[in-house]
Chains A and B, each alone.
Chain A
Amino acid sequence: MNSLEGVVVQIQGLSSSAGDISRLHVILKQAEESLRSESTRLSPILDQLDPSNHSLGYLFILEACTSAPVSKEQAAMLVPYIARFISYCAPEQIRLAPEKFIAVCKRFKDQVMLLGTPMRGVAPLQAAVRKLQNSSEHLTTLHPEFLLLCLLAKCYKTGLSILEEDIFEVDQPRDLFLYCYYGGMICIGQKRFRKALELLHNVVTAPMSSINAIAVEAYKKYILVSLIHNGQFSTSLPKYTSSAAQRNLKNYCQPYIELANSYSTGKIAELDQYVQTNGEKFESDNNLGLVKQVVSSMYKRNIQRLTQTYLTLSLQDIANTVQLNSPKEAEMHVLQMIQDGEIFATINQKDGMVRFLEDPEQYKSCEMIERIDSSIQRIMSLSRKLTTMEEQMSCDPQYLAKAGRERQRFDFDDFDTVPQKFNI
């Protein structure tokens, strides 16, 4: 008890300036053991501390509290504390002990899931992510946890706000895999198939020395989303994919590749039948909903193909070509597509004719100019980023050492005094 009191006093006393905080950090690290041993009695202490001023201390105590497995009632009690802490804590203080912060947040997520209310965790974790990040381009271990909660709570839009940011810096490759996979799922849920494709593509082509389960699942969804968005799928992965992925991914995703082959024949009846026969496999992967979307996208694609060849076409002919059952169904499909902006057409109900129009976009409007302008700005900033990265790399001692060792030597003068290894 005394040590605990002592710790509390220290925390309260030493939380004011940066120098004090580093001393406090040292003290707290030393006191870690004793804190852990008294984990059950730590909860009342939390009331004595202020999360925003005494963040570091609060964090250590919270971490000790949650280090032991908690029951449901304890969880119910702890969850509001942690939530409050995350909202109020000071980022500079917790960045001193990021692993502890991550550990606390992870356990928080577990508890929230244990209680069956993932929604409660969404906002706090979002705040946690923001506080832990060094910059908006930084991927922390909390990103995937946050996205997981969004998925479970079905708060897709909140997840999307984090996904909009570009990631360039990664702590742990495993985080990236999970982040992109969950992110892909959220985008699929919001029907943002292009972004989903991008995220899943990143998982599948990420450098990996051996195949992992996340990549396999991501590849399955990648195939399906590629069919929905692009109408086609090529089994060849780009050159920069790791060799482990190139060799092994296909073996695990055989039903999906056959689905893609069946899709490319363009016959809806065959596709339907294939889905029927293999329904359980897709179901067990939780992909059946997506597969059904694939089937319905086939109708759309066939109708879109018709716009390329015909100027006007009767609804009966559309129904026959696309293998729908009646002109009424064809009309409904076409109507839906016109409303979604996927094709441009007018339906003449008197004649039962559809007239396909050209895309009315003239690329002359102000919005279009703004769009082009913003694209240009984006790409210019990307170029700048590339240049800075190259400059940084050229000054990197490891790179210089390797390049220096391996460069070609043409004549005697080349054997100059570039040292093999920089001793800095």
Chain B
Amino acid sequence: MEPEGSPSRPMIDEIHSNGGINLCDGDVDDEPSIDDTTTTTTNNRPIISSGEQLDVEAYGGLYQGRTKIMRLLFIAENCEGNPAMRLEALRMAHDEIKKGENTQLYREVVQKIDGELGPNYAMDSAWCDSVDRRADQKKEKLENELNAYRTNLIKESIRMGYNDFGDFYYAHGALGDAFKSYVRTRDYCTTSKHIIHMCLSAILVSIEMGQFTHVTSYVSKAEQSPEALDPITAAKLRCAAGLAHLEAKKYKLAARKFLETGSELGSHYNEVIAPQDVATYGGLCALASFDRAELKSKVIDNVNFRNFLELVPEVRELINDFYSSHYASCLDYLGNLKANLLLDIHLHDHVETLYDQIRNKALIQYTHPFVSVDLQMMANAFKTSVAGLEKELEALITDDQIQARIDSHNKILYARHADQRNATFQRVLQTGNEFDRDVRSMLLRANLIKHEYNLRAARKH
């Protein structure tokens, strides 16, 4: 490799050894690790950690409400080959559902458990029936109350009535009805606090339903409120917006939203998202879509976001590694995180795309400063074979993301700077030809149209 500038010994060594660095961070955790990696974490806070299996109990403890149940069910569905984790997740979901009033979900979970957890987890029809009966009674009561309020035309009471309805439907899993009820409160909202409350409820239900277009519209509605939002609410809205962008695959916007989330969020929004998630989603999206300058200013130098990154040291490390060009370790971290990230309900569909984008960015960044690059060394740095690396580089060059050409015989990548003068001449000649051709066609068409016009005029007379 010939770096532009005088090579200093340490840098060459570093570059050479990029493939072989073995990082050991802190002490080994007391929990036994199933895979044999050496990168571990010190404290118990990070839940999605490298190489070790997801601690389902701790993971579940981060959330509450319906999202906890949905996440646990998702984990149960997607952890193939790990029956212990599956049963654990189902057990926790079952316990959580029993605390609530959603009989539909209860039936689903019991079916999935299928008696594997013993007699305590079999179908408890008595419980189902009593819950359903209570639900019907409550619904009647709520309806009567609401009708009474409506006849009295007291705005505040009507609003509370619809709110209660919304909560009721949400607890019983009728998400569509819940959403409609919440939206109906809009007409009876008097203060901006009411509006914000309505928006937050609507956002919650929309996220559970998976309809993220609603999320975006209600976030903007809430943010337009004339009063200043308190920091927690503002943080909640940013998270929701970030999630919406993530689902829409707009990673750059999602990253920006997550990075702007205030650290006051804490666990106040754990019916939707945990602060660890904010860090992970924000970090990965930023890495996949930001350029270097933005990465430095918005992520690495972002004091606010540092609080979130403390919760997931791997993500922090991998961002730092990427920025300082230690690609091998960065990709290592990513690889370790992958299995657990695939179990995350929101990130599941995007893991592959984000990983590809991050890897491509790493490749591009690696080749950027050099006039020529030895493919063997680069393959070591990226822990891949030369042939595989060649294929990846070919794709990037064809996509015009790297300006270079591969000398396949000697396995060297040469940077290629387009010859501006020749390119200009070519473009000029081409434009001239196109202009010529287009004008002639236009004149011809004008003549035809004139002919048709004359014909029509002649026929009229």
Contact = CB atoms under 8 A, between A and B. Distances in A.
- Chains A and B belong together in one complex: yes
Interface string A350-377: 0101001011011100001001100110
B440 to A, nearest CB: 6
Contact of A309 (B406, B419, B421): B406
A314 B409 contact: yes
B4 to A, nearest CB: 20
Contact of B408 (A167, A313, A372): A313
Nearest to A168: B443
Interface in B385-443: 393-394, 397-398, 405-410, 414, 419, 421-422, 425, 428-429, 432-433, 435-437, 439-443
A205 B451 contact: no
B427 to A, nearest CB: 11
A176 B444 contact: yes
Contact of B441 (A205, A313, A385): A205
Contacts of A209: 452
A312 B410 contact: yes
Contacts of B432: 375-376, 379
Contact of A389 (B407, B419, B443, B451): B443
A309 B441 contact: no
Contacts of B398: 305, 308-309
Contacts of A362: 422
A27 interface: no
B153 interface: no
B429 A375 contact: yes
A309 B439 CA distance: 36
Contact of A205 (B393, B433, B445): B445
B451 A311 contact: no
A355 B439 CA distance: 41
Nearest to B439: A382
Contacts of B452: 173, 207, 209
A240 B440 contact: no
B449 interface: yes
A363 B449 contact: no
A206 B422 contact: no
A9 interface: no
A309 B394 contact: yes
A398 B456 CA distance: 13
A386 interface: yes
A375 B426 CA distance: 13
A378 B436 contact: yes
Which of under 10, 10 to 19, 20 to 34, or 35 or more describes the interface residues of A?
35 or more
A339 B435 CA distance: 30
Interface in A284-313: 305, 308-313
A127 to B, nearest CB: 25
A309 B443 contact: no
A207 B436 contact: no
Contacts of B407: 310-312
Interface string A79-120: 000000000000000000000000000000000000000000
B436 to A, nearest CB: 6
Nearest to A396: B450
A207 B447 CA distance: 10
Given A375-B432, A386-B439, A309 B397 contact: yes
A202 interface: yes
A47 interface: no
B448 interface: yes
Nearest to B440: A166
Contact of A310 (B405, B436, B448, B451): B405
Nearest to B410: A312
A172 B451 CA distance: 8
Give the dominant DSSP class at B's interface: helix
Contacts, number: 97
Interface in A249-270: none
A198 interface: yes
A169 interface: yes
Contact of A363 (B393, B414, B425, B447): B425
A314 B390 CA distance: 13
B457 interface: yes
Contacts of B433: 375
Contacts of B440: 166, 168, 382
A308 B444 contact: no
A385 B447 CA distance: 13
Contacts of A317: 408
A311 B414 contact: yes
B448 A206 contact: yes
A311 B435 contact: no
Nearest to B407: A311
A231 B341 CA distance: 41
Contacts of B409: 312-314, 351, 353
A170 interface: yes
A240 B445 contact: yes
B444 A167 contact: yes
A143 interface: no
Contacts of A173: 448, 451-452
Best-buried of B439, B441, B457 by chain A (most CB within 10 Å): B441
B447 A170 contact: yes
A221 interface: no
A220 interface: no
Nearest to B428: A372
Nearest to B391: A321
Given A166-B440, A202-B444, A375-B429, A363 B421 contact: yes
A36 interface: no
A139 to B, nearest CB: 9
A25 interface: no
Contacts of A54: none
Contacts of A170: 444, 447-448, 451
A310 to B, nearest CB: 5
Contacts of B419: 358
Interface in A150-196: 166-170, 172-173, 176
Interface in A201-218: 201-202, 205-207, 209
A358 B426 CA distance: 14
B384 to A, nearest CB: 18
A201 B421 contact: no
B428 to A, nearest CB: 8
Interface string B87-115: 00000000000000000000000000000
18 contacts: A170-B448, A176-B444, A202-B441, A206-B444, A207-B445, A207-B448, A207-B452, A310-B394, A310-B408, A311-B405, A312-B408, A353-B408, A353-B409, A375-B429, A379-B432, A382-B439, A389-B443, A389-B446
Given A167-B444, A170-B447, A389-B443, 4 more contacts: A168-B444, A312-B407, A314-B409, A371-B429
- In the A-B complex, the 10 residue pairs with the smallest Cβ-Cβ separation, listed nearest first, are A363-B425, A311-B407, A312-B409, A311-B405, A309-B397, A313-B408, A375-B432, A310-B406, A312-B407, A309-B394
Interface of B: 393-394, 397-398, 405-410, 414, 419, 421-422, 425, 428-429, 432-433, 435-437, 439-449, 451-452, 457
